[in-house]
Amino acid sequence: MPSVLWILFDGGGDRPVGGKTAFHTAFKPAIDYLTSLGSCGIMDPISPGVRPGSDTAHLSLFGYDPYRYYTGRGAFEALGADVELKPGDVAFRTNLATVDEGGVVIDRRAGRYISPDEARAVEELMYRIGREAEKFGVEVFYRSTVEHRGVLVLRGAVSHRVGDTDPHKVGAPLLKSTPLDDSREAAKTAEVVNWLTERFRELARELEINKARQREGRPPINAILLRGGGYMPKIEPIREKYGVKAAAIAGVALIRGVARAVGIETHTAPGLVGTKDDVFDEAVRRAVELMSSYQLVFLHVKGTDSTSHDSDFAGKVSVIERFDKTLSSHLDKLLDHYVVVTSDHATPVLVREHTGEPVPLLLYGPDVVQDDVAKFSELTCWRGALGRVRGIDIMPTLASYLGTSEKFGE
C-alpha cells in the first residue's frame, strides 16, 4: 500500500530577489523530477494575507483549524522539549537575547548559536531564579531547546492571559508583560514574568560564559524574551480525525510539540537538530524506512527559515540543494508512493520575517494528475492543476488518496 512522504521546508517560501527565489535558483533535480510528474499549486497556510506562526501553520497543515485549537505557542514548545505539562500550567516560548544597558534589544537571538556549555549555564541560572520565585507561590521550570530557543513553564495560580515581553524586533525595548483580563491569576502571572525578566538581566552580568563571549567578540546572553504563553488544548488525534497513522521527524521542539499534540508519533535522526547546518542523510533514510510502518511520514527542514531570518539567500539555496542531493539517492523507493513538498509560510530573505503570501505546493503520486509544471518554485507552481488551496485542505486531500477518509453523505 502506498504511503505519503511529506517534506516541509520551514520558511521556504520567498519573494523574488532579482527575479528569482531560492526554490527557483536551487539545483534540485530530485524535487523537480517529482514536480514534472505530479500536480502543483500554491497554498495559503491559513488564509490569504494571514502571516502564520510556525505553530498555527503546522496546526492548519495537520488538518486542525488554528482559530479553534490554538492556545499559545509555549505549550507546543514545552511538549516538544519533553517537558510535562500539568493541568493549569502555563508555558512560554523563550529567546535568549542581547540588550543594551537601557533594555533595548540589540539581537533577539544573542548571535543565534548557543553552545551546550552556555545552555547549561543558562539552565542553572534559571534554576536559581526559579528557587527565588517560590516567594510568589509559583514554580518555574526552564529548558533550553535548539540554539537560542527554550521553554519556560509556570505552575501555580497562573494564567496564559498575559502579554509578551518580546518586542519582536531589534531597536525596541523589552516589553512589560500586562494582564489581558481582570483575573488575579493574570495579574500574578504578569508580575512574575516581569520580575523574572529583570532578575535574569541582573544575574546574567555574573555569568562566566558572558565574560568569555565578550573576549571572543560575541554578543552576551543578558536577556530572556518570553512570548506565546499558552496551555495544552484538547485535540482529537489525527488517527481518529483522518484515519491516518502518522510519524514526524523534526529537530525543532516546537514542531515535535505540535505533532505530538495532534497524535503524530515523533522520531529523531542524527544530524537533524533544527539548524541551517543540519545533515540530512539519516533523516531522509529514516523517513523512507518509516514509510513501511506509517501511512504518512512528515519530515521537517528548518534551515530554510533560519537562513531567511539571517537574510542569507545563498545559505537558503544551499539548504535546499543539500537536502535534494540526499533525497535523490532514495528517489527510486518513492515512485510508488505519494510525496508532498511545500512550506509552512514564506520568510522572504529581504524581509527576514514571516509574511502572508502563498507558498508553492507539490503533490506527486502514481495516480495523481500530471500537469505541465516541471520546476518547483513560487514562480511556476501557480500554473499547476491544484490551483490555490489552504493549508487545512492538505490532510483531507491526502486521506482521500490513502482511502482513509469518511464519505460525506450517502
- 3-state secondary structure at position 90: strand
Question: 298 and 324 in contact (C-beta within 8 Å)?
Answer: no
What gap in Å lies between CA 1 and CA 292, rounded to an integer?
9
- 3-state secondary structure at position 39: strand
What gap in Å lies between CA 54 and CA 347, rounded to an integer?
11
HSE toward the beta carbon, residue 137, CA cutoff 13 A? 7
List phi, psi (to 5°) of 333. Answer: -80, -10
Residues 6 or more apart in contact with residue 229 via CB below 8 angstroms: 72, 74, 90, 91, 92, 160, 161, 162, 164, 189
Nearest to 51 by CA among 364, 346, 289: 346
**Residue whose cell numbers read 518555574:** 140
HSE toward the beta carbon, residue 90, CA cutoff 13 A? 23
| Residue 123 confidence (pLDDT) | 92
DSSP string of 277-306? Answer: T---HHHHHHHHHHTTT-SEEEEEE-HHHH
Q: Going by DSSP bridges, is the β-strand pair 149-155/223-230 parallel, antiparallel, or unpaired? A: unpaired
Q: What residue ranges define each of the domains in the chain, with the CATH number in brackets?
A: 4-69+235-402 (3.40.720.10), 77-230 (no CATH)
Alpha helices in 237-292 (DSSP H): 238-242, 253-261, 281-290
| Residue 253 confidence (pLDDT) | 83
| Residue 75 confidence (pLDDT) | 83
Q: The whole model's pTM is what?
A: 0.80
pLDDT tens series, the chain, 410 aa: 899 999 999 999 999 999 999 999 999 999 999 999 999 999 999 999 999 999 999 999 999 999 998 887 788 888 888 888 888 899 998 999 999 989 899 999 988 788 888 999 999 999 999 999 999 999 999 998 878 889 999 999 999 999 999 998 899 999 999 999 999 999 999 999 999 999 999 998 888 888 888 888 899 999 999 988 888 888 899 999 999 999 999 998 889 989 998 999 999 899 998 889 999 999 999 999 999 999 999 999 999 999 999 999 999 999 999 999 999 999 999 999 999 999 999 999 999 999 999 999 999 999 999 999 999 999 999 999 999 999 999 999 999 999 998 888 87
Question: 55 and 258 in contact (C-beta within 8 Å)?
Answer: yes
| Residue 44 confidence (pLDDT) | 98
Cell matching residue 340: 508532498
Q: Going by DSSP bridges, is the β-strand pair 338-342/4-9 parallel, antiparallel, or unpaired? A: parallel
What gap in Å lies between CA 116 and CA 206, rounded to an integer?
18
Burial of residue 242, with CB atoms counted within 10 A of its CB: 0-12 exposed, 13-18 middle, 19 or more buried: buried
DSSP string of 118-181? Answer: HHHHHHHHHHHHHHHGGGGT-EEEEEE-STTEEEEEEESS--S-B--S--SSTTSBPPPP-BSS
| Residue 242 confidence (pLDDT) | 97
**Residue whose cell numbers read 546572553:** 221
| Residue 224 confidence (pLDDT) | 94
Phi and psi based region of residue 128 (left: phi greater than 0; alpha: psi -120 to 50; beta: remaining): alpha
